[in-house]
Copies of this chain bind each other. A is one copy, B any other.
Amino acid sequence: MDLEYSSEYQTFRDDLREFLAEHKHLSPGAVAPRPAGREEKKDEPNPAQRWQQLLIEHGYAARTIPREYGGFGAEPDPLKNHIIAEEFAKARVRPGHSGDNRLVPTVLELGTEEQKRWLVPPSVRGEMTWCQGYSEPGSGSDLASLSTRAEVDGDDFVINGQKIWTSGAQYADMMFCLVRTEPDAPKHQGISYLVFSMDTPGIEVRPLVTMTGEATFNEVFFTDTRVPKNQIIGKRGEGWFVANNTLKHERQGLGDPHQAENRFHEIEALLQNENVDGEPIMSNPAHRDRLLQLQGRMLAMKYNGMRVLTAQRKHEEPGLPRWIIKLQGCELNHQMAAMAIDALGELGTLYHRSDHIRAGGMWQQRFMMDLGLIIGGGTAQIQKNMIGERALGLPKEPKIEDKPA
């Protein structure tokens, strides 16, 4: 147990701080601006792309992407990733990216050389952005039951069907997408993983408004959408296994313990600064005890995150500590938002830029978004199945049958 950073990492952090101090002004705003529509950004590198390029050159973005595909080409080092995330957050500077943290690793691992050269460099440069076509209205928890079909016609797949929960579909250049290509195979073996431009004829994107009132997601409809046969990643019928690569990367992103700690300190400040009848809410023992219970949970998750990071750094499988992060992290965030709302009382219900609103209604928005995250990306029930089966080794439910969908 040594929570100091060795001199290598200390130097890395110092260099990064210096870099940020010097170049911060070039960053295109602390928070990513909503991307322009696809049609508007086809000209020369915009500020965000130039910033990304600068970060790659210094090894602060696309760190582990090989140089020949436009990255920095470093060895994986979770601790350096962690330092990068921490310092960018502290400086409130917009971080870089690695193309798309679901698609790019998948293509690098399973794509052909031609596909790598086609897809990775522009993604890493930020010139090719992605959206994900996995979920369908009829297949949520049971993703493998998806029914969007792609039939071969000449040199093309012809896609018909519908996707849902596609965030960024209205801005993305490309989609990576699961389709059913072998309808007669067992359900996990009939799926293929295709990539294609969102400009392909026959794609319609409709915004999907959520309970927060915003269209964070979209529905995407395919009508005779033609995709050349060589735009498949992996083999026909192996899309399920290709996709699991992607899901693996996505799952790690949820439930960041630092995010929970930052939220906690926001609530702490809220309880100290808001008054009822002239007394700060912090002086209300019922609220205070609830805050303390949340602090205990938050700290446990924070240190659990440090443990996972350490394991990853040592190339060990973190096991249970990692399996539980999504379930516990989302729940903790939701509980913290609930606590903030309750501490604000009636004021906590304000929304829509109302007079008297606190923090722009952020806590209500988080309360709902966190519930969405509890449900999305594997519901809490699916998470518990996974923890029970994969981490604890309990048997699966007996199968009813397993024939093609």
Contact = CB atoms under 8 A, between A and B. Distances in A.
A289 interface: yes
A3 interface: no
A21 interface: no
Contacts of A398: 400
Interface in A271-287: 284-286
Interface residues of A, number: 6
A286 B289 CA distance: 7
A289 B342 CA distance: 15
A206 to B, nearest CB: 33
A287 to B, nearest CB: 10
A283 to B, nearest CB: 10
Contacts of A284: 285
Contacts of A285: 284-286, 289
A386 B210 CA distance: 34
A260 to B, nearest CB: 23
Nearest to A292: B286
Interface in A376-405: 398, 400
A111 to B, nearest CB: 40
A302 B398 CA distance: 41
Interface string A294-336: 0000000000000000000000000000000000000000000
A286 B286 CA distance: 5
A161 B400 CA distance: 34
Contacts of A289: 285-286, 289
A208 B398 CA distance: 34
6 interchain residue pairs of minimum CB distance: A285-B285, A286-B289, A398-B400, A285-B286, A286-B286, A285-B289
8 contacts: A284-B285, A285-B285, A285-B286, A285-B289, A286-B286, A286-B289, A289-B289, A398-B400
